[in-house]
Amino acid sequence: MEYNCPACIWTSETDSAMSNKGRVNFKKLLSETDFASQTSIEHYAAHLDGMTFRDILELGIAPANAEEKDYGSVRFKGGMGNLIEERYFGYKANSDDRPDFPEAGVELKATCFDLRKDGTKSAGERLVLTMIPYDREVTTDYEKSHLKTKLNTLLLVYYHRDRTIDKYDQRIERAVMVHLPEKDLRIIRSDYKKITTLLQQGRADELSEGMTSYLGACTKGANEKSMWADQHYPFIDPQTGEQTRRKAKKRAFSLKRSFMDYLLHNYVLNAPKPEESILPEDSETETADFDSYVLNLIDQHVGKTDRQIAQHYGLPYTGNKAQWTMLIYRMLGIKNNSAEEFVKAGISVRVARADENGAIKESLSFAPFKFKRIAEESWDESDFHVKLESSRFLWVLFQRKEDGDYHLEKAVFWAMPIEDIEGPAKACWEETKSTIIHGVQLKRHLNSSGKLTVENNLPKISGNPVSHVRPHSSKAAYLFEDGMAVGNLKRDSDELPDGRRMTKQSFWLNSSYIEKILGTR
């Protein structure tokens, strides 16, 4: 990553910074800025460091015939990025395919970061670049695309998204010019080709963020009605040859949140990089082959037992699942169980264990959810939907054979198909929301051992082919309507809308669905 910033460690000395800015004639500085020069643009942008959005408004800069806008309104999607464009750089915000500063080839983007509880910074969201065109022909050649001009040089303006204060009082901490390194661009080119190939096949309705690595295809649209569009390319049925034009959700090219988080920490904050790279630094591997490059490294060991693979890498054999994950990274040439490309892409490595008949016992859990949050959110904005849309997995299967040992069977990259997300997974979420709103039924009884058990009416594994809901923790905790309390309520329970509490719950992918993913049965 190349970038031109005088310092890469942010400080909190904003008061003195702003006192110095008070002596700057910004209108004069703007008039002297050469917008055909990246260096000149960067020098002017550097004065943003330490300013709030309210400070920018008070500069009195505006494009000709500027309209009064509430940039902080939830109804105004341009948000703080448009405020910077219009009220600091003085040009009217637009949706042009060209970069914001076309003569210099610079694209301006405002992007936020959040502060975690431990004080560390985390990228707050994906970086939306430009709409994916459904109304015209597209090229699969990234070098000839308008997206390339958007990504050549990025001027990123980072601000702290503090939800406890007014949006206009949120503070900018760093404006930095960024040039993505070639090894990242190789993966982005591959992602672009994958997305545009589906467009040309009339299959934009099958797009999801999870199917690519760094460059995502995120949904765009203010509501369900405005979210859908006709496709320019027809879908041709491979069996009948019949042509149809299927509707698809509007989407935009974006850099994934996981990629933005990596960029924030490793290229802007200049934090130490703990991850190793799967691809050698001097690799010429085109990322159209990145998936096959990874899978080929694993395929070299297919048929071997876990014991044999451990021996191959000089590791003591433990026979547990944790070691299997370690073995996967060793096959990829990674020693610390964290690969740079996987972190950037948000790829989750998952090991599945099947018996001789192909049965997989373990389901896959997601993070515990908040009952009240689900009751208030919509499907498209729900945490579960966002997770399914954006998640990408590397599944590795070990299967027990006649000799009683577990053998490496296969590895596959996988993202949940849209038809499963919008079908059974959505139905599971909707049933969960309805149950929470109308009141979760908690039935207490003692089992044969005299132990208290609690049944509920949240979605069961038998009622949905893809997902179900069950406790995230083995520790039960309840606060019942009559005041009876069980377990550690603070640690292991969450509050229901009616004030009762129950054990924290999660969405799970069914073990039978994982069998389908891996083709074991």
**Do 293 and 285 touch, CB atoms closer than 8 A?**
yes
In the DSSP assignment, the letter for residue 422 is I
Q: Please name which of 449, 487, 483, 448 lies closest in space to residue 471, comparing C-alpha atoms.
A: 487
pTM for this model (two decimals): 0.87
Residue with tokens 């904005």, as numbered in its chain: 381
Domains 2-200+257-268 and 287-413 share a fold: yes
Task: Write down the architecture of domain 2-200+257-268 according to CATH.
Answer: 3-Layer(aba) Sandwich (3.40)
What pLDDT sits at residue 89?
A: 96
**DSSP notation for 475-508:** S--EE-TTS-EES-HHHHEEE-TTS-EEE-EEEE
**Do 227 and 219 touch, CB atoms closer than 8 A?**
yes
Digitized pLDDT (tens) for each residue of the chain, 521 residues in all: 333 333 333 333 444 445 556 678 999 999 999 999 999 999 999 999 999 999 999 999 999 877 778 887 765 566 889 999 999 999 988 777 889 999 999 999 999 999 988 888 999 899 999 999 999 999 999 999 999 999 999 999 999 999 999 999 999 999 999 999 888 999 999 999 999 999 999 999 999 999 999 999 998 866 667 788 999 999 999 999 999 999 999 999 999 999 999 989 877 787 777 789 998 776 555 545 789 899 999 999 999 999 999 999 999 999 887 899 999 999 999 998 899 999 999 999 999 999 999 999 999 999 999 999 999 999 988 999 999 999 999 999 999 999 999 999 999 999 999 999 999 999 999 999 999 999 999 999 988 888 889 999 999 999 999 999 999 878 999 999 999 999 999 999 999 999 999 999 999 999 999 999 999 98
What pLDDT sits at residue 224?
A: 67
**Do 384 and 368 touch, CB atoms closer than 8 A?**
no
Q: Phi first, then psi: what are they for 210, rounded to 5°?
A: -70, -15
Helix (H, G, I), strand (E, B) or coil at 180: coil
Structure tokens at 285: 């591997």
Structure tokens at 210: 């999870």
Structure tokens at 157: 């303006």
Domain ranges of the chain: 2-200+257-268, 287-413, 421-512
In this structure, the strands spanning 452-455 and 443-446 are antiparallel
What pLDDT sits at residue 98?
A: 87
**Do 255 and 216 touch, CB atoms closer than 8 A?**
yes
**Do 85 and 35 touch, CB atoms closer than 8 A?**
no
**Do 154 and 105 touch, CB atoms closer than 8 A?**
no
CB half-sphere exposure, 16, CA atoms < 13 A = 3
What does the alpha-carbon distance between residue 461 and residue 470 come to, in Å, rounded to a whole number? 9
In the DSSP assignment, the letter for residue 78 is T
Answer positive or negative: Cα dihedral of 46, 52, 55, 59: positive
**Do 494 and 501 touch, CB atoms closer than 8 A?**
yes
What pLDDT sits at residue 302?
A: 97
What does the alpha-carbon distance between residue 494 and residue 513 come to, in Å, rounded to a whole number? 28
**Do 173 and 147 touch, CB atoms closer than 8 A?**
no
C-alpha dist (Å) from residue 151 to 155, 238, 331, 427:
10, 35, 33, 38
**Do 65 and 58 touch, CB atoms closer than 8 A?**
no
Task: Write down the architecture of domain 287-413 according to CATH.
Answer: 3-Layer(aba) Sandwich (3.40)
What pLDDT sits at residue 76?
A: 57
